[in-house]
Structure 1
């Protein structure tokens, strides 16, 4: 084998190895992602409270630190001004459990009393989610799921 071919092959391995290392480093430093988000609203009945249950799968390369959840009516002030991470700072948190690899299954459940339902706007609602990873990366999805209050 000529010396030129050996040097070219070695240079190719170095270039491909460097690209692979970059791809792995980039893949390991992604912002958290949400998948399979669902919201289920059950109205209260005469003899029992209703509930709002939101579930989502969260993937974060540095593990999940917190998942904040806020249900908001589509015709609220948030629809006009936009929802921010600052708005999400003091809202309730979901409970997350490992579901394999870098993923966690997160669930937020809150009871809905008849008084809550009577005082809530009717129509479409959105569920906003703020995910914070342990490395500080965040993802805000202001419309992760929808439900309707009739």
Structure 2
């Protein structure tokens, strides 16, 4: 065999190995959860009945979804929640829609007394998703809604 053929074969084998190693690394790289299609809805209490606040979102990760934490806050408060702070807030209720995706809903009842103490104007929803493999995604402003009286 000539040296040219051996050298060409060796270069081809190295290139093929590099492509295969890159593909394996890419295939095994964990993905971060995704929070999509988020929406917030506020209904003020009326006529002596209760109102409600609901935030829904589709959350997905290739390992499955463990949890979605939700924090609701008025823009006027100048609050700037961090991902670490959202580890300790209430969770949404998540129902699996596939092996990788869950539909999550966070609902609060709002009494007339609650509504009287709420700041009027824009409110934000912050969300923190956690996957089964421990990956997290933080969305500081996952949705917005208005509170009026």
Which residue number corresponds to residue 58 of structure 2? Answer: 57
Alignment of 1:53-132 (within 5 A): 53-78=54-79, 82-132=80-130
Which residue number corresponds to residue 147 of structure 2? Answer: 149
Equivalent-residue separation in structure 2 for 1:65 and 1:100 (angstroms): 13
Which consecutive aligned stretches of 4+ in structure 1 deviate over 6 angstroms post-superposition? none
Residue 91 of structure 1 and its aligned partner are, at CA, apart by 1.9
Of structures 1 and 2, the larger Rg is shown by 2
Instruction: Give ranges in structure 1 of 5+ residues lacking alignment.
Output: none
Equivalent-residue separation in structure 1 for 2:35 and 2:47 (angstroms): 36
CA RMSD in angstroms, aligned pairs only = 2.0
Which residue number corresponds to residue 132 of structure 2? Answer: 134
1:17 aligned onto 2:15: no
Residue 131 of structure 1 and its aligned partner are, at CA, apart by 1.5
Aligned length: 145
Please state whether the residue corresponding to 1:143 is helix, strand or coil. Answer: strand
Structure 1, residues 87-141: CA drift from partner, whole Å, max 9, x if none? 3233211011112241111111111111111110000000011112233322221
Residue 3 of structure 1 and its aligned partner are, at CA, apart by 5.1
TM-score (norm 1): 0.85
Go from structure 1 to structure 2 and tell me whether the alpha carbon gap of 1:3 and 1:85 turns closer, same or farther (over 3 Å shift). closer
Which residue number corresponds to residue 44 of structure 1? Answer: 45
Instruction: Give ranges in structure 2 of 5+ residues lacking alignment.
Output: none
